Amino acid sequence: MARIEFQVSIKAPIELVYQVSQDYSVRYEWDTFPENIALLNGAKHIEKGVCVSVTAKSGLNMEVEFVQVMPPTTAAIKMTKGPIVLQGFSGSWVFKSIAANETNAKFIYSIKTKWWSVPLISESIASWYFSKVIKSRLNGLKAYCEANA
C-alpha cells in the first residue's frame, strides 16, 4: 500500500479553510482535480455515510463514502467503487489551527492496487500521480482561501 502526504500553511482561519474545502459550490474555483462531483442517494450535504461520485479531469471515476466528518478539523473518505486497477483508496484532509488566521492543511492518501497490476510498479505510478494531485489541490485551496480570507 502506498501512502502519500503533503501539507501547506494557509493564511486563513481554520473554519474558512474547512468550509471552502467541503463546499462543492466553490470547489471548481480552486480544485484542479474534479471535472464533476455529485452527492449520491439524495444527500444534500456532507456527513458521515454520505456517498459522492467524483469524475476527475483525467477521466478517472470513483465513488467514495465519507467515513469521518469533524468540522473544522477532519474529513475522510474511502473508495466504494473505482478504477479497475485500484483495490483500495482512502483519503483524509486534516486541518490544524496554527494561529487565529493561519491553518496547517494536510492531505493524506492511501492507495492499494490490485495484485495483477504488479503493485511494485502500479503503486509507484499511482503515488507519482496522486502526489501531483495532492500538491495541486492544496496549492489551489491555499490560493483561494488566502484571496478570500
pLDDT tens across 74-125, in order? 999 999 999 988 899 999 999 999 999 999 999 999 999 887 777 778 888 8
CATH 3.40.190.10 fits 2-33+72-148, yes or no: no
- The mean predicted confidence, pLDDT, of the chain is 95
Q: CA angle, 69 as apex, 68 and 75 as ends, to 5°?
A: 80
Question: pTM, whole model, 2 decimals?
Answer: 0.92
Tens of pLDDT, residue by residue over 45-85, are 999 999 999 999 999 999 999 999 999 999 999 999 999 88
Give the residue-averaged pLDDT of 27-36: 96
Q: How confident is the model at residue 5 (pLDDT cuts 50, 70, 90)?
A: very high
Q: How confident is the model at residue 130 (pLDDT cuts 50, 70, 90)?
A: very high
Tally of CA atoms within 13 A in the half-sphere of 27 that contains its CB: 14
Q: Which three cell numbers stand for residue 135?
A: 500538491
User: What pLDDT score was predicted for residue 119?
Assistant: 72
123 phi-psi bin (left φ>0, alpha ψ -120 to 50, beta other): alpha
Least Cα distance to 46 among 73, 16, 67, 17 occurs for 67
Give the 3-state secondary structure of residue 67.
strand
49 phi-psi bin (left φ>0, alpha ψ -120 to 50, beta other): left
Q: What are phi and psi of 93, to 5 degrees?
A: -110, 115
